[in-house]
Structure 1
Amino acid sequence: MKSRNLRYIPEIDQLRLLAALLVFAFHFFHMYKGGWVPLPQYAWLGLITEGHTGVALFFVLSGFIFMTIAAEGEAIAYTKFLRNRLLRIAPLFLTVFVVAISIHRDRFVATDLLYVFVTNIGNPPTSWHLATGPAWSISVEFAFYLVFPFLAQFVRERGAAYLVKLILMMLVIKLGAYLAAENSKLMLYSTLVGRFDQFLIGMLAGLAYHRRKDWLNRHGRLLFFVASLVTIVAVGVQARYASSFLPDQKQPFWIIWGTIEAACWAGVILGFVRGGISFGERLDRVFATCGAWSFSIYMWHAMILFTAHELFGSVGGTGIVALGLNAAVLLGATLAFSWLSYSVIEQPFLNLRTRYVEAPAKA
């Protein structure tokens, strides 16, 4: 997706597509096969059985993109930045929110409108059903938007050490919150307390992209393959020993998991963007184009999956071949609907965005 504040980097859209596809695969697998239970025997499929890790990739990408923009420009105009962010997420999010309250019209009360601002805590209408459930992360994302311009300014003044200190502080806060919360796993999974350091790690990656470009250009490909392997292993360990579906809500592993997860994805991002990784010119273009629809893919895929499952079930059974065919058909349907959503809901508003960073002063 092209920005008015940064030269177009198609690899970022390709990574956005990966993040959306991981979440799609996660929901598809458990709706059609896994049954929303821990599957330690499939730890080697952790990127699918615990594909919610795609949300972490989205968060790290946000920190990476905005810090890259800030590092290449100067001051960020706060009101223009927030206006752009609202134009980016509000039209589609509000559409999904209206769908959610319409589905549950009989239980809706006027105060539920306040959940427009907090879809990740309490009992928001978007979380009353899986069909609109992915919207929970939007409040976490927007909370980061509110503070990012200040963070960028402080990083310019104090350097990367400022972000490191914040990450260390968040680890202590997460420990305290874990001890205090009854449902600590969900708290660490779905709130800014558990996710803020993922944005911060993305910002560190953005700084590295800007300041270590020579090293990354030389070693990016190796970094990508090593980081990808480490990510697969790390998510596999999480799937094996600390699945998000385990009934025990007091799992100490989750205190540090978000930080580990984000660091893994940061390595993948840096290696992929600087490493010259290519799938061939045509596929690169297709992946980048589909990546521009990633927000719509993320927000609508659960409704597409649920609707198809209710109407047709798992066509052909739950064997590997049948699952593969069902996944391919539903992915195609999701991409088609997401293209439509992007065209009629997102794109017209995206064209209203303006530049919010000043160009660096010339010597």
Structure 2
Amino acid sequence: MVVSPPSRNRPPMKSLNLPYNPRIDQLRWLAATLVFLFHYYLEYRGQGGTPLASNWFGLVTEGHTGVGLFFALSGFLFMQIALHQQHLHYRDFMRNRCLRILPLFLTIFMLATAIGRDKFAPQDVLYVLSTNLGLAPTSYTPVTGAAWSISVEFTFYLVFPFLARFTLEQGPRYLLKLLALMVFFKLAAFTVNEKSTLMYFSTLVGRFDQFLIGMLAALLVARHGAALRRYGNVLLPVALAVVVFDSALQSKFAKFDPATHATFWIWWSMLEAAGWSLLIVAWTTFGKELPKPLARVLDHGGKISFSFYLLHMAMIHLLAVNFGLPAITGDKLRDALLWLPLVYGATWAVSALSYNVIEEPFLRLRRSYGDAKPVQAAARMAAR
């Protein structure tokens, strides 16, 4: 088989299946940054730092919520593509998803098996599709710990073309019925799992509804996009307030603890995804542009966000082990804030390198998912 060189005229991160919207990349940057701040905060606390007492710092102290943004964003983006295309070729869709996810993900998995070589068992290879379950090699160390969410995301990819087809046929009521079924599964699972928080946090039982809510948000934009744009100046601050309130609510009533069994977590993923989906809708329909220098930085942050997400824990851990928290002022919180730009910049640099040598060459091999249809037809289908 001959592999022809890909065209260098096509920016590798810009989808072949939907007009490019830089706001999506900017939201990816936000999601990756929140998760980074969460793990940076945990490292700060591990080195004796005083906790942030106010619940209004929830976007940092519960910054794992960035994963919820990633999941809702995936549902939103792929449903937009389905509405635009009206037909997805399953093989091409999965080919593109594999080219997007697997090169870096398999690199991280290989690193995990190398780190854990002394306790590696042949059957551990099967964890490559389920790093969110059991004793996956990636879970032994913070260097590769972020990989758990990729298995959840990839499982969604496996079923999305079917979800899209059924949604295009039946409209939003199909997704609403699926959400009702997910509530039943959550309630039933709660009665038999003593560590339900971790179950809801890291499995499809707790996360599948976030993809579905993101898909509903895409249908909302397709049907009411013009009205949403007219009220963008009001919708965006409301969405930001909801996201901040959601994170404060979790910080107050259900801080993340893998060993807990709290009823709050039954409903949390839906509340979290609803807040993030509102922000996705508000930001993608907001009419005003960011200053160009800032937009370029955030767009680039979104472009490298996958590498940033998978590598940030390794960089935080590496610098913590070798340098600790430098005593610059004598106040740990102030020192952590002063150290933060260097750690973030180092993570950005290694992520840009990873994107350039691992992700980008494979992204140039992607192809279109299906047959494009007019957006007006997509909007009519979404109105059902």
TM range (shorter): over 0.9
- Using the alignment, how far apart are the partners of 2:334 and 2:83 within structure 1? 48
* Residue aligning to 2:211: 199
Pick from 311, 322, 332 the counterpart of residue 319 of structure 1.
332
- Using the alignment, how far apart are the partners of 2:17 and 2:48 within structure 1? 41
CA drift at 1:277: 4.6
**Residues 40 and 185 (structure 1 numbering): CA distance in 2 closer, same or farther, change over 3 Å?**
farther
* Residue aligning to 2:10: none
CA drift at 1:182: 1.8
- Using the alignment, how far apart are the partners of 2:48 and 2:280 within structure 1? 29
Contact 1:33 1:318 in 2 (8 A): no
Aligned positions of 1:327-346 closer than 5 A: 327-346=340-359
Aligned positions of 1:96-135 closer than 5 A: 96-135=108-147
Q: Does the residue aligned with 1:339 lie in a helix, a strand or coil?
A: helix
CA drift at 1:293: 0.3
* Residue aligning to 1:232: 244
Task: State the Cα deviation string for residues 201-234 of structure 1 (Å, max 9, x = none).
Answer: 0001111122211111111232121011011111
Contact 1:96 1:132 in 2 (8 A): yes
Aligned positions of 1:345-360 closer than 5 A: 345-360=358-373
CA RMSD of aligned residues (A): 1.8
**Residues 161 and 23 (structure 1 numbering): CA distance in 2 closer, same or farther, change over 3 Å?**
same
With normalisation by structure 2, the TM-score equals 0.91
CA drift at 1:320: 3.1
* Residue aligning to 1:148: 160
Pick from 65, 85, 88 the counterpart of residue 73 of structure 1.
85
Q: Does the residue aligned with 2:19 lie in a helix, a strand or coil?
A: coil
- Using the alignment, how far apart are the partners of 2:54 and 2:172 within structure 1? 38
Unaligned stretches of 5+ residues in structure 2 = 1-12, 378-384
Unaligned stretches of 5+ residues in structure 1 = none
Task: State the Cα deviation string for residues 41-62 of structure 1 (Å, max 9, x = none).
Answer: 3311100000000000000000
- Using the alignment, how far apart are the partners of 2:200 and 2:49 within structure 1? 19
* Residue aligning to 1:158: 170
Contact 1:13 1:287 in 2 (8 A): yes
- Using the alignment, how far apart are the partners of 1:9 and 1:194 within structure 2? 29
Q: Which runs of 4+ in 1 moved over 3 A?
A: 34-40
Aligned length: 362
Aligned partner letter, 2:302: G
Pick from 208, 218, 222 the counterpart of residue 220 of structure 2.
208
**Residues 36 and 94 (structure 1 numbering): CA distance in 2 closer, same or farther, change over 3 Å?**
farther
CA drift at 1:36: 11
Contact 1:220 1:270 in 2 (8 A): no
Aligned positions of 1:165-180 closer than 5 A: 165-180=177-192
Contact 1:42 1:49 in 2 (8 A): no
CA drift at 1:193: 0.7
CA drift at 1:246: 7.2
* Residue aligning to 1:290: 301
* Residue aligning to 2:286: 275
Contact 2:50 2:332 in 1 (8 A): no
Pick from 31, 35, 38 the counterpart of residue 43 of structure 2.
31
- Using the alignment, how far apart are the partners of 2:56 and 2:369 within structure 1? 43
Contact 1:39 1:240 in 2 (8 A): no
With normalisation by structure 1, the TM-score equals 0.96
* Residue aligning to 2:3: none
Identity of aligned residues (%): 48
- Using the alignment, how far apart are the partners of 1:285 and 1:36 within structure 2? 37
CA drift at 1:6: 0.9
- Say whether residues 1:185 and 2:197 are aligned partners: yes
